[in-house]
Amino acid sequence: MDYLKELNREQYEAATTTEGFIRVVAGAGSGKTKTLTARYMYLVEMLGISTANILCVTFNNKAAAEMKKRIRKQLPDQDLGRITTFHGFCVGLLKEDCHVVGYPTTFIVLDEEDKEAMLRTVFEDLGITSRDMTIREAVDHIGWRKGGRGYVKTLIDPNIDHILELVESASTLKDKVMYRYFYEQRKCYGLDFDDLVYFALYILEHDRATREKWQQRLEYIMVDEFQDIDKDQYALADILSGYHRNLFVVGDPDQTIYTWRGADVKFILEFDSRHEHVKTIYLNTNYRSVPQILTASNALIDKNRERLKKQLTPVRPDARKPLYFHAKTSQLEADWVTAQMRAMHEGGMAYSKMGVLYRAHYVSRALEESLIRSKIPYVLYSGVEFYKRKEIKDILCYLRMIYSGDDVSFLRTVNEPRRGVGRTRIRALKEYAELNRCNLYEALLASLETDLFRRSRAREYVRLIEKYRAIFDGMDLTDLLSGVLSESGYEEMLRSSGEEERLDNLAELKQAIYDFQRKAGEEVSLGNYLDHAALFTNMDQTERAQAVKLMTVHAAKGLEFPVVFLCGLSEGIFPGKRANTREKLEEERRLAYVAFTRARDRLFLSDAAGTNYDGSFRYPSRFLFNAEKENLDYAVPLDPDLVEDAMDHIRKTEDLAQPPQKQNDAVGKRVRHPVFGEGKVIGIPRGQEGYIVQFDSMVTPRTFGAGVKLEFLAI
C-alpha cells in the first residue's frame, strides 16, 4: 500500500474512486502516470479485480511500456497485456474475433512502409506515374475515404472479384487506385493501422454477441491522454464501457496538439455533458517545473478560450525566470543558444540534460551548424526509426514470409540478396498470379521448373521459406532469426560489404526479440512478435547519451528536460502561417504551452528577425507577449517600435482569425475598438445589421454598422 501513501489528496481521490464515469484533468507534471499506476494496482490488490478485466489504454507504446514497468515492480506475476494502445487492443480483439468478418487469425498488420510498397505495386500495375498521382496523394485519399468506415463491407466481401469490378467501374483515378489497393490488401488479409480500429468498431457495432462479450469482460476501462483521442477511439471507449459503465479518462485540454490527426478537444471538455453523473478531479500540483516557468506557462495558456480553467501550482522552490533573447539573424540566435549551452556545461551540467525544441524541422539548420562549430555533441530526433530501417524491415519481411507469405514481403525479400529474380521474372509472376488468383509466392512455386526461373536462384529462396514454414511453430524466435540471417545469405551480404552499423542493428533486433520473449512469457509466438513490431515505434536506438537532443515540440510530448531551449519563436514560424483561425491559433498556443512545460529548471526562449519564405517579416511571436513581460527576463530589450509593429501585426491576424459573430450572440460580449478601446455590446440596432456598444471610456453608447472592426475578447 506504499504506492497510495505517496499520493497527494487529489491523486489519492483519483486512484481510489473506481465506479462510474470519472474525468481527471491532469496538468503538466502533475503525476498523471503515477496516479494511473496507483489506480491500476488499487483495482488489482485492494479490490481483487483480475488484470484480464481491466483495459488501460495509453497514447503510445512507450507510455504503455513505462506503466507496465512500474506495475511489474508491485505485481511481478500478473499478465499486463491489456495495458496497451488503442491499436494494440484492436489487434487483440481481432485475433480473437476476426472470424466474425471472415478473416483468418493470421491476418497481417501493415505498417506505413508496407502500405506505400503496396501502392507502388498498384501504380506499376496500373501504369501510373508521379505525374498522374503521388504515393502521398494516394495514401491521403485512401485515409480520407476510409474515415467513413463504410469501406469495411468491401474488404470483408468473400467475393474478392467484386473488388476488381469496383476497380474497373471507378470514375476517378484516385478511386481506381484505392480499390486496387483494397484488392492487394484483401489478397493477403492485410490490415493497416486505420483498419485495425475500423474493423474492431465494425465487429462491435454489428455483432451483438461479440460486443456483449467484450463489454462484460472489461469491467474497468482507463484511457490516458484523453485530450488526443479521435472520434473512432472515443466510440471504442464508449461502446466497451457500455455494460459496466466504469470509464476513467485522464487528460489535459491545454495539451491537445493533434487535431491534424483527428483529435478533438471537445471529447474531454464535454465529457460531463455526454455521460451521466460524471465526477471531475483536477490534478493541479506540478512537481516538475520551478515556479517561474509555471507562472509564464499559466499566463500563456490562459489566453485560450477552449479550455477548463485551471492554474498549475508549483511545489519546487523559486529559481530564475525564463530568459528570452531576440537576435538580428538566425545565425546569431543559434550562436547565443550554443553559448548558453557551453557556459552551463562548463558549470558542470551534462549536455544530455539539455533539449532544444522548435515548431518545424527546418529551424534546426542554423542550430546544427553552430553546434558543429562549437563541437557540442547533439542528436537530431528526425532520423529513421529503428523498425523502419532497411535491414530491420528486410528481415521482418523474411519472418513474415514464413508466417503468412504476403506479396509485400515477397517483393522485398525474394531478390535480397540478389537471386536473379529481377523485373522480367517479377512481371511474369504477377501475370501468373493475376490469371490464377493466387499470391506471388504461390506463382513462384508453380513456375520453378519453367525455363524463365530455372536459371535463377529462386529455388534457394523457396527452400529457405519452406524449411522454416515447417518448423517455426516449435522454434525459439531468436534461433529462427539466426537461421534466417545465416541461410538467406543476408548476414553474409552485409559482412562482405563492410556494413558494420547495419550488422549492429540486426544484433539489436535479436536483443529486441529476446526481450520480447522474456516479457511475453508463454504466449510468445512468431505472429505475436510480428504484430508487436508492426505497432511499435521508437526514437533512434543509437543516440549518444552525452548529447544535446534536438526535436520538434510534437516529438517532445511526454518528455521533460532540466534545461529547454525553445527556438524560432517568430510570427510565421510559431505560430505558423497556416494558423489562420481562432481554433488553429489556440492549438498553436497549446503546443507552445507543451514546450514551456517540458522544462524543469531553466527555460530559454529565442527568436530572430528576418523574413519568412513568403516574404513576411519575422516579428517576435505573440506567445512571448502572451507569457507577459513581467514573467520573463529579457537578455536584450526589445525596440519599442518593433514591439508596436509586432502588436499591430498580431491584432490584424487575430481579427482575420475571428469567426463571424452572430448578432444576437454578440449581446453581452466584451469587444475592443481600434479607437474607442474596450467596451460591451448592449444591443442590436433595430432593422439593421451592426452593434450598439457601451465603451468603458464613454458616458453614452455608440451604434455601428455591420462593417465595423470590432475585436471580440475572451471573457
Residues that are catalytic: 32-33, 224-225, 255, 598
The distance of Cα 54 from the centroid of its chain, to the nearest Å, equals: 24
Helix H or strand E segment including 141:
helix 135-146
- Provide the b/e sequence for 539-568 (b: ≥16 CB within 10 Å): bebeeeeebbbbbbbbebbbbebebbbbbb
Q: Coil, strand or helix: which one is 84?
A: strand
d(CA 229, CA 241) in angstroms, rounded, equals 16
Q: Of 178, 308, 230, 220, nearest to 22 (Cα)? A: 220
Residue 715 to residues 479, 655, 708, Cα–Cα distance (Å):
65, 16, 21
Contact between residue 18 and residue 275 where contact means Cβ atoms under 8 Å apart: no
SS3 content of the chain, % helix, strand, coil (to 5): 50, 15, 35
To 10 degrees, the CA torsion angle through 521, 524, 530, 532? -30
Neighbouring CB atoms inside 10 A of 430's CB total: 17
d(CA 18, CA 42) in angstroms, rounded, equals 9
Q: Residue ranges of the alpha helices (H) in 260-389?
A: 266-269, 271-274, 291-301, 330-346, 364-373
Neighbouring CB atoms inside 10 A of 168's CB total: 8
d(CA 349, CA 341) in angstroms, rounded, equals 9
Q: Which long-range contacts (CB under 8 A, 24 or more apart) does 466-472 make?
A: 468/402, 469/402, 472/402, 472/403, 472/526
Helix H or strand E segment including 491:
helix 490-496
Contacts (Cβ under 8 Å, ≥6 apart) of 606:
324, 325, 326, 327, 333, 336, 337, 565, 566, 567, 568, 569
Cell of 688: 439593421
| For helices 458-471 and 390-403, angle between their N-to-C axes, nearest 10 degrees | 60
Q: Coil, strand or helix: which one is 368?
A: helix
Contact between residue 594 and residue 557 where contact means Cβ atoms under 8 Å apart: yes
Place of cell 491576424: 653
Place of cell 488499487: 42
Q: Of 9, 12, 10, nearest to 1 (Cα)? A: 12
Contact between residue 294 and residue 312 where contact means Cβ atoms under 8 Å apart: yes
